[in-house]
Amino acid sequence: MPRPRRSFARAGACPGLLRVALALLLLLPLAGCAGILRLDAPPAEATVDLPVLGLPNARFWPDGPPEPLQREVALMLARQGALQAGAAGRALPPAHFLALSGGGDNGAYGAGLLTGWTASGTRPRFDIVTGISAGALIAPFAFLGPDYDPQLREVFTEMAPPDLILLRRLPVAVLFNDSLADTSPLLRLIQRHADGAMLAAIAREYAEGRLLLIGTTNLDLQRPVVWNIGAIAASGHPDALTLFRKILLASASIPGAFPPVLVDVEYAGRAFQEMHVDGGAAAQVFLYPPSLDLRGVTGPRRMPRPRTIWVIRNGRIDIEGASVSRGLFSIARRSIATLLHFSGVGDISRIYLTAQRDGIDFRLSYIGSNFAAERREPFDQRFMQALFDYAEAKARAGTAWVAAPPTAGTRPATADR
């Protein structure tokens, strides 16, 4: 199988995607008359309350009213309390929330960190796990615990570019397709790991009061969507597994580079389709929206409960200096990379400030300036193995976490051609 020759990892991590995005912008006028057929999107005013698989709580809109998600959190706490019904007068154990960011092949960092965390003997059981893009692919393994570490290692250290994407010819892709790459290999990878057994395991954990939330972007509405994977898994619906796989694929589908994912819905007796793409188009990392005030959500026991938010940024915080050449692509590429970088940093700051408001401890881990391995191409196995090993060693040593977002530093300048 031929190896891809162009970059498709997340912008900011691999500059090739930025070149592709810019080329797409320049070629858009040529593609305007060659749209690919799809069913209409449902009416915008109906979409927010539209059940998926008949489930009213299959998903949430983080930019909308907080009450639906607040009800789900209250149910989570009630389930946890019911499991400890015999421990009257005792508080629930400490709560741990994990947020996994996007990052393309930098997802090897989060995978290595979780594996090393297991080896250190200090990895907690997470009450809530959220994931965006590459973080969405990590999230089910992180949610289900250390028994899934071997699969997590395989996905992020043993996959080569042809195992994830197939590159289309640029003129054909622009004129006759909705993306520059075919992600059928990535879908096969998802199908191999996100199987019926995994879905059943997620359903069991949901029944015990745990939440697995995956973010996508509804491109029709230009809004973020948070999918309640546990509720989908527990529904018993025959299409639950297919939807689970679609959500994982959609969350990692970089617009323009990877195909969008169409989710089938019904409204007023008619069939419609929603277009979903990379959750990173709306946010790089998320936990819960600031509009949801956890101080107002109480469980069955009104007692103090230590809580910690753990954020894994599959990327850097520091900025790489560069001497930007005076060219259209160099300037635009650098600008887009800057935009995406500070979008992610801003998301982390929002989570941190919300944690402070709600009295929750905060921990952050990210790729440090002391990691210097270089990638030859997107999803370079040697690069990903080095990054996995780096994160694993940090977690084993107990040096992976900081208690607040750091101020930005700058690495030495390089030429930007």
Residues marked as catalytic: 133, 278
E-only strand ranges, 161-208:
166-167, 181-182
State how far the Cα of 108 lies from the Cα of 88, in Å rounded to an integer.
Answer: 43
Burial 301-339 (b: 16+ CB within 10 A, else e): beeeeebbbbbbbbbbbbbeebeeeeeeebeebbebbee
Q: How far apart are CA 148 and CA 130, in angstroms?
A: 17
Q: What are phi and psi of 316, to 5 degrees?
A: -100, 160
Contact 158, 381 (CB under 8 A): yes
Main-chain dihedrals φ then ψ at residue 363, nearest 5 degrees = -140, 140
Exposure of 376 in the CB half-sphere (CA atoms within 13 A): 9
Is residue 128 a contact partner of residue 215, using CB atoms and an 8 Å limit? no
- d(C-alpha 379, C-alpha 245), whole Å: 21
Name the helix (H) or strand (E) containing 24. helix 15-31
Query: DSSP E strands: which ranges in 51-175?
Result: 59-60, 95-100, 128-132, 166-167
The SS3 call for residue 177 is: coil
Neighbours of 178 (CB within 10 A): 16
Cα separation, 123 vs 319, in Å, equals: 30
Whole-number Å distance between alpha carbons of 241 and 175: 33
Burial class (CB in 10 A: 0-12, 13-18, 19+), 19: middle
